[in-house]
Amino acid sequence: MALALFVERGYAGTSVRDIAERLQMTKGSLYYHFSAKEDVLHALLTPVLDALDRFVARARAAGAMSPDLMAVLVDLLDEQGPLLRSLFNDPSVRREVMTRHRLPERLTALQQVLGGGDDPAAVLRGRCALGVIHAGALAPSDPTTKAEPGRAGRTQPRLTDEEKAFVTRAALAVLAAEPPGPAAGRRRR
């Protein structure tokens, strides 16, 4: 219920009272379970971030990124797209998630496992592959629509199986590309 409200109205546009009313309980009852709206956010994000952590562990154990593993990541981010689009459009949410949920460390681990290492070229490959997945599964499907907290998640459907397969192939293609060499910054004649 809180998830639906955050997607519909955005985090900033949802009050504890709104959540309590949607759950058909008093604010006091809600406060018994959650001391603040941030705790509700934490409860919603924890399963998503835990799933990402499990993905990173599984990919590390596999030793290399396979099409099946990449499809798992695409499906996970597509499934969580409405929540992630809604929440990450709100600067206060980004700040909360960055600190409380160690998002920078988690994203670095994801980029490293996607790219196949922790050297700069591998991290760049991983960041670019993640960018492809973001563009395919998380970015608004209509780029002319102004991003508004609470609106993006409500209007964008999940990807079809064919679209997920395309995003998976595109991300794998990025990983197969040759990284720039040491002379990549120099102009060729």
At 146 the pLDDT is 47
**Cα→Cα distances 110→51, 78, 178, Å:** 12, 16, 19
More confident site: 85 or 48:
48
The model carries a pTM of: 0.80
At 141 the pLDDT is 64
The winner for highest mean pLDDT among 58-62, 147-151, 174-178 is 58-62
- Any idea where the domains of the chain sit in the sequence? 45-176
At 149 the pLDDT is 45
More confident site: 95 or 189:
95
Structure-block tokens of residue 150: 């609470």
Which residues neighbour 74 within 8 Å (Cβ) at sequence distance 6 or greater? 133, 136, 137, 159, 164, 167, 168, 171
Q: What is the pLDDT of residues 116-173, one digit of tens each?
A: 999 999 999 999 999 999 999 988 766 555 444 444 444 567 899 999 999 999 999 9
At 183 the pLDDT is 52
At 189 the pLDDT is 45
pLDDT confidence band for 5 (50 / 70 / 90): confident
Distance, in Å, from the CA atom of 72 to the CA atom of 134, rounded to the nearest integer, reads 14
Q: Is the pLDDT of residue 58 over 80?
A: yes
